[in-house]
Amino acid sequence: MKVLVAYYSQTGNTKQIAEVIHSEVLSRGYEADLKPLAALTPESLNGYDLVFMGSACHSSDLAMPVKALLEAIAPSPPFRLAGFATHSTYTPEGDARRRVLYEAWAGQCTTSFERTCQEKGIAWCGYFGCQGAPSAPIEVFIHQTILTDAEEWEAYIADARTHPDEGDKEEARVFARRVLAAGSVGSVVAVCRKAEPGVPKYAVDAVELIEDFGITGDYHAGKFVRHRYLAKLDPTMPNHRHVLITDTVIFADVALRGIDLEPGMMAENIVVDGVSVMALPLGTRIGIGETLVELTEKRDPCGQLNGSHPRLLEAVSTDENGQVCWNAGMFARILKGGRVRPGDAVVVQSQPEAV
């Protein structure tokens, strides 16, 4: 997939967000360009599969050059579109007054993107907005026209000048990951279970997922925590690790370290292809065949893995530079049960709330 991160920025706020999204997309292994709007024509967007389009908010809406570019896109282009903007007014979270101000002074940004996508038949992938520090003339405008109360103004401007801040940038990274993940489709390669704890689990023809419980006949199924050490500490803790999911990207990574993994060697229950589970934020919901699961925790690799191969723990807990990097699967809880077998579709569905 080829990705473009385009931006229109006069004072650098939107450019900062564009850079964060661009580096996040690159870090996920995609080919990605970062370009200011002035370097683009409507036709040049057609060379991409996914376009992140960013704009400063002007007069409650996307900046005119961005609107003009969107307007000039020919119907049914080959790319999907995600939008982002920075605006000086508050974000819509928080109290009613802030929401009203957001709607009045920045609310058009998202509707302009959505309207364009509807009119042009562009697949719309979602919107991210955050505050951006106002320039000096905009500060004067806001103070004289919108936030005239001295106390409200002081509180607003002290904070507004700090944006986009690290929190905004982290939210932009999460947004980029959601957009990359949404709609990605893969398939089940193998399903595994074992009644006893430990590695490996054994590949079988099908497994039965039980809602809020686990896999029938699998050691890790249960209402309450099944991890043996944690269960000793508090056996009444709820079980959020109903299934462990790995993917073929992990298998390929481990192969580069000279280890040939077979499904089940990491005690995983489901191996998928076409969806990189380690890249998905926690909270992501994944449809697997007729079931629905939600990612709850990155698996903390432990020494047991070396029962499958003497170097497996090292291979899935450090990167090539020796830095700690967990690459051993994701735990999920089962929201909707059903049968899962190799060949079933895997569809990333959700907009998770947290990383």
CA distance linking residue 242 with residue 245, whole number of Å: 10
CB-based contact 87:98 (threshold 8 Å)? no
Question: Which CB sits closer to ligand FMN, 86 or 284?
Answer: 86
Residue in the block written with tokens 């497996």: 312
Of 3, 45, 58, 81, the residue at the interface with ligand FMN (CB under 6 A) is 58
Question: Which CB sits closer to ligand FMN, 18 or 293?
Answer: 18
Our finding on whether 88 is near ligand FMN (CB under 6 A) is yes
Neighbours of 207 (CB within 10 A): 26
Site for ligand FMN in 254-273 (CB under 6 A): none
Name the one range near ligand FMN by CB under 6 A: 39-47, 52-60, 148-156, 269-277. Answer: 52-60
Residue in the block written with tokens 């959505």: 114
Helix and strand totals (H; E) in the chain: 10, 17
CA distance linking residue 267 with residue 329, whole number of Å: 10
x/- string (CB under 6 A) for ligand FMN, residues 201-240? ----------------------------------------
Our finding on whether 138 is near ligand FMN (CB under 6 A) is yes
CA distance linking residue 223 with residue 256, whole number of Å: 38
Residue in the block written with tokens 């699998």: 218
Question: Which CB sits closer to ligand FMN, 36 or 281?
Answer: 36
CB-based contact 263:189 (threshold 8 Å)? yes
Our finding on whether 11 is near ligand FMN (CB under 6 A) is yes
- Considering the complex, what minimum distance in angstroms separates the CB of residue 108 from ligand FMN? 9
**Bridge pairing between strands 270-273 and 185-193:** antiparallel
Of 48, 79, 84, 105, the residue at the interface with ligand FMN (CB under 6 A) is 105
Q: Summarize as ranges the residues that interact with ligand FMN (CB under 6 A).
A: 9-15, 56-60, 86-89, 105-106, 132, 134-135, 138
